[in-house]
Chains A and B, each alone.
Chain A
């Protein structure tokens, strides 16, 4: 290994020995290709002509009026696939192709990363299998259908709460078993090194574009960047370009579910403590013995007891701040953005909007929200919770 993948004390590689050579191989391939001209030209072309980059930075005027400051939305919801996950899917898919891997596997919570992997599998013609918890299959059924249409096989995971954590466990077990042929497309900036670094590398284009776009539109940097945090890939993707701009607040919003003082939330940085889980040292929701706790959130993509190690680091050094929004606040934001801007956000992204609605703001503030995904996948689940029926006599 070139590096141990540490962010301060966080990160590292806490996996069974069987996986270590695969992580070494992956790190080697990543270092070979990340600065390779042909690789990057192919990836950039795909991002542009297939996925639709750059995504717009949209001045949300009605939302701004409602909030009493200037609000921009980074429109990752307009990316092909419906969320920022496609950036990472294409990057790692191309890496897998270069490494000569014959099979892709991935975990998914909301189904966005699963779909990003499925479309990449279809594009490159590599057989793809997706691990997804049975609870998430129910609440994100549209994405299940999209994955199936693109030819991916779904492996339902029924252990535990049947959500993202268990899907990752089973994907890791598959990888341990099929290590020679299979590439594991990890979906977030968590997991063992080199994944937090690789996923950030492919997601940091969000922040790079945003920085140029806001400087062009406002001729100054924003006061704050807000993004939702489950594992933390969209947040890390937009934070990275601003991390040396000390006047820009970087704010991550975790899922408070039914309230962070209940048992039903997924606010890892707020309520977790340092621990080793699914490959890295970071904050973890756990009991005093170190057993991992069940989580809850209305949003499948944020329903996870871990968080990327670099977020733990950014929090410790106070470069980023982390807050939370409840299910109820997220649903209200989901409805509000739809009504006032005609943009239906993913329930994940709705947490970021919810926090902006309640945070303290000044009139002169410029705030950028990373609208990480669109809400089509959540229509049934969210409308059900909001009491919107859509049936007529």
Chain B
């Protein structure tokens, strides 16, 4: 059944290689936004424009960790009857296009639960996914997922937040692989004007406790955000809502959408260097 062989090459190593230079720019988009074809083209464009890794969202009806920008994107995607199989097809095509870039999925737990936990991780590994972050699955509930992820050789990616206590941090870091998703603020996804200073404290707290890369997400939209975070101990930055806003802004002109996203990714990647 495994016709392709590249997926057998320890996907977690893709993170190791891609993030070792410690200046990663990781764009996020919801797969299928605004439609499957444009979405796939956009992801290729992101890779061509300098993305070091990808965070790909799977749309969910009730995304409680997301702000209104990503929720609206999820609604657009679900309105088109996009299914998990469609998401996997896009990932498979992207993996064919580029065999080195790490691909992470950002998903809500019920979608995995209904697919069957083991089946989901097996299928995800098969199409070339390297890591999975389950937005509403804290470490306490993650046993089944950890087992399935390990078996499929997919990195379980976990969030640490400014509220995470030292005890919780310890538990999370014991199981986290790929990278640690450091949430920069108290709140949901969405662009903010300024970086919350609490994140610097959080980076200082986490850095000595793990060897895997620390990537900061939530609220990041500007090149100056990227610069300050990378000079404060982050190994990478994840940008979602700012990109989704460019999609939303250009829904009637897909060419322009892709051009704007390309130049945005280039601009943000340039800020990492």
CB-based contact A278/B64 at 8 Å: yes
CB-based contact B159/A16 at 8 Å: yes
> Counting CB contacts under 8 A, is A68 at the interface?
no
> Counting CB contacts under 8 A, is B270 at the interface?
no
> Counting CB contacts under 8 A, is A275 at the interface?
yes
User: A4 contacts which chain B residues (CB < 8 A)?
Assistant: 140-141
User: B164 contacts which chain A residues (CB < 8 A)?
Assistant: 17, 20-21
User: B109 contacts which chain A residues (CB < 8 A)?
Assistant: 14, 276
Q: Tell me the smallest distance from the CB of B233 to a CB of chain A, in Å.
A: 19
CB-based contact A173/B168 at 8 Å: no
Q: Tell me the smallest distance from the CB of A289 to a CB of chain B, in Å.
A: 6
Q: Tell me the smallest distance from the CB of A133 to a CB of chain B, in Å.
A: 13
Cα distance, A176 to B136, chains bound together (Å): 12
Q: What sequence of 0s and 1s flags, for each residue 3-15 of chain A, a beta carbon within 8 Å of any chain B beta carbon?
A: 0100000001111
Q: Tell me the smallest distance from the CB of A148 to a CB of chain B, in Å.
A: 24
- Across chains A and B, the number of contacting residue pairs, with CB separation under 8 Å, is 114
CB-based contact B111/A290 at 8 Å: yes
CB-based contact B141/A12 at 8 Å: yes
Please give me the residue from chain A that is nearest to B65 by CB atom: A16
Please give me the residue from chain B that is nearest to A172 by CB atom: B64
User: A178 contacts which chain B residues (CB < 8 A)?
Assistant: 186
> Counting CB contacts under 8 A, is A22 at the interface?
yes
Cα distance, A73 to B272, chains bound together (Å): 68
User: A179 contacts which chain B residues (CB < 8 A)?
Assistant: 163, 186
User: B135 contacts which chain A residues (CB < 8 A)?
Assistant: 16
> Counting CB contacts under 8 A, is B165 at the interface?
yes
Cα distance, A180 to B186, chains bound together (Å): 9
> Counting CB contacts under 8 A, is A52 at the interface?
no
> Counting CB contacts under 8 A, is A66 at the interface?
no
User: A334 contacts which chain B residues (CB < 8 A)?
Assistant: none
Residue from A16, A20, A21, A277 within 8 A of B110 (CB atoms): A277
> Counting CB contacts under 8 A, is A338 at the interface?
no
CB-based contact B61/A173 at 8 Å: no
Describe A's contact surface by its main secondary structure: mixed
Cα distance, A180 to B185, chains bound together (Å): 12
Residue from B114, B158, B160, B183 within 8 A of A288 (CB atoms): B114
Q: Tell me the smallest distance from the CB of B112 to a CB of chain A, in Å.
A: 8
Q: Which of B80-134 contact A (CB under 8 A)?
A: 83-84, 109-115
Q: Which of B5-41 contact A (CB under 8 A)?
A: none
CB-based contact A14/B137 at 8 Å: yes
User: B75 contacts which chain A residues (CB < 8 A)?
Assistant: 159
CB-based contact A276/B71 at 8 Å: no
Residue from B60, B113, B159, B187 within 8 A of A17 (CB atoms): B159
User: A177 contacts which chain B residues (CB < 8 A)?
Assistant: 186-188
CB-based contact B71/A13 at 8 Å: no
> Counting CB contacts under 8 A, is A85 at the interface?
no
Residue from A1, A173, A274 within 8 A of B67 (CB atoms): A173
User: B183 contacts which chain A residues (CB < 8 A)?
Assistant: 17-18
CB-based contact A173/B188 at 8 Å: yes
CB-based contact A13/B110 at 8 Å: no
> Counting CB contacts under 8 A, is B212 at the interface?
no
User: A291 contacts which chain B residues (CB < 8 A)?
Assistant: 60-61, 78, 111
Cα distance, A284 to B111, chains bound together (Å): 12
Given A18-B163, A169-B64, A173-B188, check contact A290 B141 (CB 8 Å).
Answer: no
User: B159 contacts which chain A residues (CB < 8 A)?
Assistant: 16-18
> Counting CB contacts under 8 A, is A286 at the interface?
yes
User: A1 contacts which chain B residues (CB < 8 A)?
Assistant: 140
Most central of B110, B158, B172 by chain A CB within 10 Å: B110
Given A4-B140, A180-B186, A289-B84, check contact A21 B168 (CB 8 Å).
Answer: yes
> Counting CB contacts under 8 A, is B246 at the interface?
no
Please give me the residue from chain A that is nearest to B138 by CB atom: A20
CB-based contact B62/A165 at 8 Å: yes
Q: What sequence of 0s and 1s flags, for each residue 37-73 of chain B, a beta carbon within 8 Å of any chain A beta carbon?
A: 0000000000000000000000011101101100100
Please give me the residue from chain B that is nearest to A281 by CB atom: B113
User: B160 contacts which chain A residues (CB < 8 A)?
Assistant: 17
Cα distance, A14 to B65, chains bound together (Å): 11
Q: What sequence of 0s and 1s flags, for each residue 138-156 of chain B, a beta carbon within 8 Å of any chain A beta carbon?
A: 1111000000000000000
Given A16-B159, A17-B160, A18-B186, check contact A289 B83 (CB 8 Å).
Answer: yes
Q: Tell me the smallest distance from the CB of A163 to a CB of chain B, in Å.
A: 12
Residue from B61, B110, B168 within 8 A of A160 (CB atoms): B61
CB-based contact B141/A14 at 8 Å: yes
Q: Which of B163-185 contact A (CB under 8 A)?
A: 163-165, 168, 172, 183
Please give me the residue from chain B that is nearest to A14 by CB atom: B136
Most central of A17, A21, A165 by chain B CB within 10 Å: A17
CB-based contact B61/A276 at 8 Å: no
CB-based contact B78/A276 at 8 Å: no
Q: What sequence of 0s and 1s flags, for each residue 169-206 of chain A, a beta carbon within 8 Å of any chain B beta carbon?
A: 10011001111100000000000000000000000000
Please give me the residue from chain A that is nearest to B63 by CB atom: A169
Please give me the residue from chain B that is nearest to A293 by CB atom: B61
> Counting CB contacts under 8 A, is A292 at the interface?
yes
Please give me the residue from chain A that is nearest to B137 by CB atom: A14
Please give me the residue from chain B that is nearest to A287 by CB atom: B114
Q: Which 6 A-B pairs have the closest CB atoms?
A: A290-B114, A177-B187, A18-B161, A290-B110, A17-B159, A16-B65
Given contacts A15-B136, A177-B187, A290-B113, 7 further A-B contacts (CB under 8 A): A16-B64, A20-B168, A159-B75, A278-B64, A286-B110, A288-B114, A290-B112
**Chain A contacts to B: CB under 8 angstroms:** 1, 4, 12-22, 24, 159-160, 165, 169, 172-173, 176-180, 274-279, 284, 286, 288-292
A-B contact pairs, 21 of them (CB 8 A): A12-B140, A14-B137, A15-B64, A17-B139, A17-B161, A17-B172, A18-B159, A18-B187, A21-B164, A159-B68, A172-B64, A173-B67, A176-B64, A177-B188, A179-B163, A275-B114, A277-B62, A289-B84, A290-B112, A290-B113, A291-B61
